[in-house]
């Protein structure tokens, strides 16, 4: 079944936790200190038990304030978080097209904020 809702795809394998998306979003939405339209959650660094490998995971999570940059998008621009992502690990598109990109690729997450 097709799904034409708009969404954000995060390839968190490549998210460095740089917070550029947070900052760009705060500027776009005019948010005061302590309020966010998207916020990076971090786990680690934590050693994976029984291995010499480490987990260090960063994932930005849209909040209830995210309007998917409706003012920018109606002018044909990308959401500002996607535009400013330092690692180019965020994409904007329909659920259908972004879900197709998840096929065969691990460490991705799809958000439908509204
Ligand atoms: S789409 Fe726009 S409003 Fe939503 S998190 Fe990204 S920058 Fe913020
Ligand atoms: S701008 Fe990109 S790399 Fe930086 S924290 Fe946000 S999603 Fe991760």
Is 38 a member of any domain?
Answer: yes
Question: Is the beta carbon of 60 within 6 A of some atom in ligand 2?
Answer: yes
| CATH code at position 95 | 3.30.70.20
Is 1 a member of any domain?
Answer: no
Ligand 1 atom 1, closest CA: 68
Is 69 a member of any domain?
Answer: yes
State the pTM of this model: 0.95
Mean pLDDT of the chain: 97
Ligand 2 mutation target, pool 8, 11, 14, 20, most atoms within 8 A of CB: 20
Sheet holding 108-111, edge to edge: 90-94, 6-11, 108-111
From the alpha carbon of 87, which atom of ligand 2 is closest?
Answer: 3
Express each pLDDT in 15-47 by its tens digit: 999 999 999 999 999 999 999 999 999 999 999
Ligand 2 atom 2, closest CA: 85
Q: Is pLDDT at 3 greater than 90 in this prediction?
A: no
Ligand 2 atom 1, closest CA: 85
Q: Is pLDDT at 102 greater than 80 in this prediction?
A: yes
Please provide the DSSP assignment of the chain as one string: -----EEEEEETTS-----HHHHHHHHHHTPPTT--SEEEEEEEEEEPTTSS-EEEEEEEEE-TT--TTHHHHHTTPPPHHHHH-TT--EEEEEHHHHHHHHTT--SEEEE---
Q: Give me the number of domains the chain comprises.
A: 1
For residue 44, give its domain range: 6-111
């Amino acid at each position: 079944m097709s799904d034409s809702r708009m969404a954000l795809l995060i390839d968190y394998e490549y998210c460095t936790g740089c917070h550029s998306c947070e900052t760009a979003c705060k500027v776009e939405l005019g948010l005061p200190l302590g309020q966010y339209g998207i916020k990076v959650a971090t786990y680690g660094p934590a050693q994976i038990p029984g291995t010499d490998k480490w987990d260090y995971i960063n994932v930005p999570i849209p909040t209830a304030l995210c309007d998917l940059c409706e003012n920018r998008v109606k002018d044909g621009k990308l959401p500002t978080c996607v535009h400013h992502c330092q690692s180019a690990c965020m994409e904007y598109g329909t659920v259908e097209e972004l879900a197709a990109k998840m096929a065969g690729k691990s460490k991705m997450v799809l958000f439908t904020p509204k």
